[in-house]
Structures are given as C-alpha cells and as structure tokens.
Amino acid sequence: MAFSGSANVYVGAENSGLYRLSAGSDQWETLSSGLPNQVQVQGIAVHPENPDIVYVGTNNGPYRSSDRGSHWERLDYPAGAPGVWTFLFRPGDPSVMYLGTAPGEIYRSTNSGDSWQKLSAMMGSNECQMNFPTRVIGLAADPNFPDEMYAALEVAGVIRSSDGGETWDEITGSLAPSENTLDLHGVQCTAASPHTVFITTRQGPFIGPDRGSDWIPVNFGQYSEITYTRDLWAAPYDPNVLFVSIGAAARSKQGALYRSRDLFKTFEKVGVGVTANSTMMAVRADPRASRNVFCVARDGEAFGSADDGATWIAYPLPEAAKEVRGLAVG
C-alpha cells in the first residue's frame, strides 16, 4: 500500500546509500545523482519552509538537493573535514544551520548551507574509547531561546552553547562516569518546556532542567522490558509530545517505538503489531500532516503510519540497505 500524504520519506544507510519513498508510492527509489559512489548517509534534513530542499550528511560532507532528492550538489565544506551525522536549523531562521560530525566537530552556516565554518566546540573530558570516534549524534536548540543549544555526544555526554554556537561548555555532570549514560543517542528541546533539554542514552531517557544543570533519570523500565533508547524526536504539531525509538542493544533482534504525551512523565508503546527485528534507529513525524509517522530499524526495516501510530504498514528497504540511521519526512 502506498504511503499516504503529500510528504516524501528519505532514508539513509551507512551501507548502501540513500533512498526515497515518494508521496503516494510504495516503492523505494535509490537516489544517487551527484552523490559519491558507495555513499554513506548518516543524517538527513528537510528544509522547514521548503520541502523541495533536502540536505544529507555523508562520509564526504554535506550535500543539498533542490528537487526533493533527484539531484545533489556538494556544499562548500572543507575538504578532508569529518563525515556529517546530524543537522539543525536555527529556530525561527532556517538560513542559519548547524551540523555535527564524527570525529566530533560542529560547523555553522549562515547562508542556508552554501558555506560552513568550524566552531570552537570541544568534546569535553568524558570521551570514552570506542571502536568508532566520538560522534556529534544530535543537535538541538530551545525554540523559546534559540541561542541555547545542545549537542549529544556518542560516547562523551553533553555540551551546551548559550550564544548560538560561539562558545561551548561541558554539562555532562551526573551522567559521568558511566559509559552507559555517556552514550547519548538523541537530544531535543520543546516550546512547552523552556530551558529544558531531553536526552536518550544507552541506559534510558533523562530530563535536564535549568539548561541541563542536572540530569533526572526517567524510569523507562516501567513501560518497556527493553530500555536501550535510541532516537528522540519532538513532534512538530504538539510541543508536549516526544517520540523515542528503542531496542535491546545497539545491535539487537528487537525494536519498538514509544511516545510520551507529557514531556517524559509517562510513555506509551506506539503501534500494536509493529514487529521490528532489529533496533529501531530513527523516528520522524510529518511536519505538514501530524498523523503521518515513520520509523526505521537498523537492518533495513521501515514502517509508516497514517493514523498517528495506531496502525502501521511495512515498507521494507532494498536488501542492500543496512546500518540504517538517517531519516527525514517532508
């Protein structure tokens, strides 16, 4: 069955590239025009005001499309700079953009991505030695105070900027020294809770009140037997709603999607009957059609809902798509 609505769905994989599910279709297209051969796509973002414009973060830097992914151009990003993992549009001014990389660095553009400059962000004193470099896995800004920004680091905790990215402070606090809680996967802010940051970690979710001055653990185990929390996404249609994707571990045979309607006070499982056979890696809601929700699992599974997660349809990705991470709807 075709995915309903007017939005396209974009999915990126570390293995085997970039895919699009066009509105009204049930077949994935491989997108490659202008992209490098054997491209790895970790992050995807659709322009909040113009869905024709899409950005992808690759192992060769950021690329932009002006025709919903049919053609791509590499942006003016330093040669040899790290691969891109995540994007952020400044709330209220999408011409200002940020991106995070692995190894961990943060860049800013003030001209809609035409060019990028490295910021002074340091990864802090809590970096854990892993079999991959520290990643800036997520970026968020407070919609009420856009200069207040947060970067989720995998595996190194959290850093904060109070001046739109000019300077950064380490705010990892009580998340250290445990590798389980330094292993961040998602970070979000919402208009419903000013000066508050929400994060997901290997151990579960946390709330950071007063600009992340403290970290309050959420007892996610009372809602789910598996508590490895992965992606975190604030619903564009309701500032009280946050989606969380989960698994049993970084690589596992289980995956699910949960939703909080009250800013992490309680959670509910979304989509009875959705069976993911690998860790659910990402979730996004359609900013122009609030009942359209999409999620993807690590080994190439994808699920779409047109009724706010009540029922789901499977849209399996092509067999080659593995290590699925990037997702955008718009």
Domain that holds residue 287: 1-7+225-330
Q: How far is CA 69 from CA 2, 45, 53, 125, 276, in A?
A: 19, 11, 8, 39, 27
Which tokens is 200 given?
A: 């997901």
DSSP state, 69? T
Per-residue pLDDT of the chain (330 residues; tens, 9 = 90+): 666 667 899 999 988 899 999 988 889 999 999 999 999 999 999 999 999 999 999 999 999 999 999 999 999 999 999 999 999 999 999 999 999 999 999 999 999 999 999 999 999 899 999 999 999 999 999 999 999 999 999 999 999 999 999 999 999 999 999 999 999 999 999 999 999 999 999 999 999 999 999 999 999 999 999 999 999 999 988 999 999 999 999 999 999 999 999 999 999 999 876 779 999 999 999 998 888 999 999 999 999 998 888 889 999 999 999 999 999 999
Is residue 205 classed exposed, middle or buried when 0-12, 13-18 and 19+ CB atoms within 10 A define those classes?
buried
Does 161 fall in a domain?
Answer: no
Evaluate whether 160 touches 212 at the Cβ level (below 8 Å): yes
Does 108 fall in a domain?
Answer: no
Does 315 fall in a domain?
Answer: yes
Is residue 239 classed exposed, middle or buried when 0-12, 13-18 and 19+ CB atoms within 10 A define those classes?
middle
Does 65 fall in a domain?
Answer: no
Does 44 fall in a domain?
Answer: no
Does 308 fall in a domain?
Answer: yes
Does 146 fall in a domain?
Answer: no
What contacts 6, CB < 8 A, 6 or more positions away? 23, 288, 289
Q: How many CB atoms lie within 10 A of CB 112?
A: 17
Predicted TM-score of the model (pTM): 0.96
Which amino acid makes up residue 277?
Answer: N
Total number of domains in the chain:
1
Alpha carbon distance 259, 234 (integer Å)? 10
pLDDT digits (tens, 9 = 90+) for 68-119: 999 999 999 999 999 999 999 999 999 999 999 999 999 999 999 999 999 9
pLDDT digits (tens, 9 = 90+) for 174-209: 999 999 999 999 999 999 999 999 999 999 999 999
Q: How far is CA 210 from CA 144, 152, 277, in A?
A: 13, 17, 38
Does 155 fall in a domain?
Answer: no
